[in-house]
Chains A and B, each alone.
Chain A
């Protein structure tokens, strides 16, 4: 017979329930302001649904009607410096945060709404309608509402996608020495997704001032929470991760406020993250103005029961009961809010001159200029103005030889010395003498607190890096131990980090450096051997650098760290142990952005290549007979930074092109390049653009199969020999 010992989670799990006594004690100004917020948000949402019903909101309008209490109650406990982000259903969170920012003392419902209130509502409505005067010029719309100045750091259309980013914001608050917090709002749908759960763990491990605010509205579209999880009391998740957790009735804004105050005390005291589950209800379906019961996944009776506990009615009832606001005043508040929305709407829509009576259209001048579609995908690179630029032949500090991997750690060490903003994170970067390859050697000793070994959770820590970059106070350098792990972190890398700048209007810097190891040839097999350049090249927000020498690594890393765009720095394991030209003097120079290097001059064919393949291409060019190849090391691989001048000059001379890379043709880099070349240089081509790639399959563990799968000098040689017949 075993002995049974009861175990309990270390973190507390508390339900906060308010009584009439709490309502009686509540500050009247808090209650009136919450009422004003609730009325404004409800009226705003009703107006959005009205426009949506007339086809004036392009895309979904995820209404928050019914569940405003969670956001209003919690955000009334925050300061402007605290940050919030949210989900696809984020109008109420965003509005509460920006209203709080412009009226930090609260909004008096008895007074006319201020111009500041009118202005933020107008800009919010314009954004939701996709119009130029919106916060992101209409690019983000309903699901990507961001106004950084107000601490509203962006709602998110990927379920759970914003959670790691909020962790980055929280990290920045703490690392900057403040007691500010980040709050990430998400629903019962997002609570089960990997990026959320990974972030629970990461935030708890690092004791980040991050509040996970779960708006449990019981339905992920039509799937109810009881069928989606074995523990529908979602705040039960928190203690499992060591997170202090609260559960509260979200239809009761005061209860939420009081629970949030407890959570904030915990957060601001540096005791780690908190989780608040607010039980709420959206009156309508996922989007649009019809109730969920119309779609038959719930009953009218259930909806009526929730509506009976409407947050606005509750606050209004207590205000009237306590004699703070009478019914007439409350009605007047609602009337003023409706008038305000009608006035705001009049700025954006007008009667359609070609339509039937009552049909409205967007005022033509309100639309963004179609020419704006691609503006601001990436930085103008003004931040590199004044950088010390050098190439091997112009560098004045003297060029000697060094091991590649030593240049990797040396330049990072130098930058961390000169720039306190830089922080390095990744799996095992803080141990093993500088990570698995020594690339971060010596950093943890020199810069305690700035070299962060992460749990194995690529989505969470990459997203956390993205959140730090978006915050702007620090410069994260995130290492992916193997390039293949980008798929694990794909949402954060491509949907979030890569798109953020453009999606939020084209001006938000995202200064993140992602160091990605390319481990082809190390025998790690199908899932650890990819070259990610081709995939990154499909994502316009990313810049890609591919250094093939220690000297170039230093200059490219410096440029990457200075650049305000996300930059992936590819590091090929074949190169780590090689010896090449390296700076003897300072490590402060940048390579010019978008400058390729002609490694070998030739007349007969242009070989475009990068990273370790550069060396194999050069070897092949020496071995081949009867073909004088020009080998160009591209160095900057992304669409915006690639060096068309050097490529074009070469093609006009040789009239033939081989794009050489090691990896398979499927996710290859050369595809887009060949496509671009044939259009740019059609009249100078004497043969189709040729490609050297690895085999179709990902490299295997078996050494001979791996060797067969990866292209190298022999494959380039064969292509050079065949080019005459192409």
Chain B
């Protein structure tokens, strides 16, 4: 019995993706859990896997095609199964045979008169834990619209909770309207025009949303980091751990959040949401643009483990192997341009976070110690803060705690 393999909803409010590559060929058998295709959304490249053993009867879209959630990507069946009339089979399964590679421009199938054509409701089977279904129902959320982070993208309790938080967060309102501008195939490309990638477009939208809705204010600080650099060197030379300055900064951010929990928040329409654990996003530059994977529970992680996880997230960000779950959550980002010699800068908050810390380079400069001018290694940081959930005094207390941690680095490696 043939069945349709449709594009699942990979992340909240992600309705489109690009099918980057097929991992299987027509007629090729596969086993449950085997990758079938790679799709790229604004946030991540995701491998779509099969739920059962089977074989591909027909591929319905070509690599590189734009696809929408719920769109049939392939016809699956049993190994050896033949389809005599593909169009008829697809029609019988409720899917029209779409022109390959141009599904986005295909007319929508006519909806039955008594049923409004839901714009982006996914047609595929949604996996959700029983608990998640109940929680979503209680919260009035459509389970099909919640991105799942469990096995087979199963929606679990934490996904529903994230969706509940995101429902009221301003950032999530920005993505609507996208289908209003279907991206038709470009006729002529000029050399100096690079069409927006999904990721570029998403970055742009998020940042516009941020500056439009989150009133930013800025708190600057400078720390003397002789000891910090020394600790880092000792860890390295002692063969204890490969730790970067940025890892120590991330750890200090996390501990400062513990010290000033009023900073560990996000703004929602109804409430300021406080978090019990400290999740810190780390900005990673990739070829496609900026990604901010999240280091979970960073305050509790030993520095070596934090460094290892950050390095792993960075590697996978650059290779397009992050999961949607690793790109969501957190209350603050750390953006570090120090390795490029930037002295200091300020950054735009990554919604729905309440803050972002811009970190410059550590450099020797004159400073005053005991009324005398001396030369010391100094690091400049700028904290951008969303004024809706956080007031200036809180940000100031946080900055003091943070700088104190940088200047007493033993507390970062305890």
Contact = CB atoms under 8 A, between A and B. Distances in A.
Contacts of A686: 129-132, 156-157
A626 B132 CA distance: 22
B198 interface: no
- Identify the 8 closest CB pairs spanning chains A and B, nearest first: A686-B131, A686-B157, A683-B134, A686-B129, A682-B130, A685-B130, A686-B156, A683-B130
A684 interface: yes
Interface in B12-43: none
Best-surrounded residue of A684, A686, A725, A726 (most CB of chain B within 10 A): A686
For chain A, give the interface size range.
10 to 19
Interface in B118-161: 129-134, 150-151, 156-157
B325 to A, nearest CB: 11
Contacts of A685: 129-131
A124 interface: no
B134 A687 contact: no
Contact of A684 (B130, B151, B156, B297): B130
Interface in A669-690: 682-687
B301 to A, nearest CB: 10
Contacts of B151: 725-726
Contacts of A726: 150-151
A684 B134 CA distance: 8
Interface string A425-445: 000000000000000000000
A683 B134 CA distance: 6
A726 B157 CA distance: 12
B302 to A, nearest CB: 11
Nearest to A651: B131
Interface of A: 626, 655, 682-687, 725-726
B157 A655 contact: yes
Interface of B: 129-134, 150-151, 156-157, 297
A626 B151 CA distance: 19
Given A683-B133, A685-B130, A686-B129, 6 more contacts: A626-B297, A683-B134, A684-B131, A684-B134, A687-B156, A726-B151
A554 B151 CA distance: 45
A725 B130 CA distance: 16
A655 B130 CA distance: 10
A719 to B, nearest CB: 15
22 contacts: A626-B297, A655-B131, A655-B157, A683-B130, A684-B130, A684-B131, A684-B134, A685-B129, A685-B130, A685-B131, A686-B129, A686-B131, A686-B132, A686-B156, A686-B157, A687-B129, A687-B150, A687-B156, A725-B150, A725-B151, A726-B150, A726-B151
Nearest to B134: A683
Contacts of B132: 686
A626 B300 CA distance: 10
A216 B281 CA distance: 88
Nearest to A688: B129
A647 to B, nearest CB: 16
A687 B128 CA distance: 9
B304 to A, nearest CB: 14
Contacts of B134: 683-684
A648 to B, nearest CB: 14
Nearest to B157: A686
Nearest to A626: B297
Contacts of A684: 130-131, 134
A129 B154 CA distance: 55
A183 to B, nearest CB: 58
A685 B129 CA distance: 7
A685 B131 CA distance: 5
A686 B151 CA distance: 12
A626 B305 CA distance: 13
Contacts of A626: 297
A94 B116 CA distance: 75
Contacts of A725: 150-151
A725 B151 CA distance: 7
A426 B129 CA distance: 49
A725 B132 CA distance: 15
Contacts of B130: 682-686
A257 B390 CA distance: 104
Contacts of A687: 129, 150, 156
Contacts of A655: 129, 131, 157
A88 to B, nearest CB: 48
A39 to B, nearest CB: 67
A364 to B, nearest CB: 43
A626 B301 CA distance: 10
A687 B130 CA distance: 8
Contacts of B156: 686-687
A115 B150 CA distance: 74
B13 to A, nearest CB: 23
A716 B129 CA distance: 23
Specify which of B133, B150, B297 lies most central, judged by the most chain A CB atoms within 10 Å of its CB.
B150
B149 to A, nearest CB: 10
Nearest to B130: A682
A726 B130 CA distance: 13
A655 B135 CA distance: 12
A616 B297 CA distance: 28
Contacts of B157: 655, 686
Nearest to A687: B129
A32 B191 CA distance: 123
Nearest to B156: A686
Contacts of B150: 687, 725-726
B216 to A, nearest CB: 35
A99 B362 CA distance: 107
A646 B132 CA distance: 22
A604 to B, nearest CB: 11
Contacts of A683: 130-131, 133-134
Contacts of B297: 626
Among B131, B133, B134, B157, max chain A CB count under 10 A is at B131
B139 to A, nearest CB: 14
Contacts of B131: 655, 683-686
B326 to A, nearest CB: 13
Nearest to A684: B131
Nearest to B129: A686
A108 B157 CA distance: 80
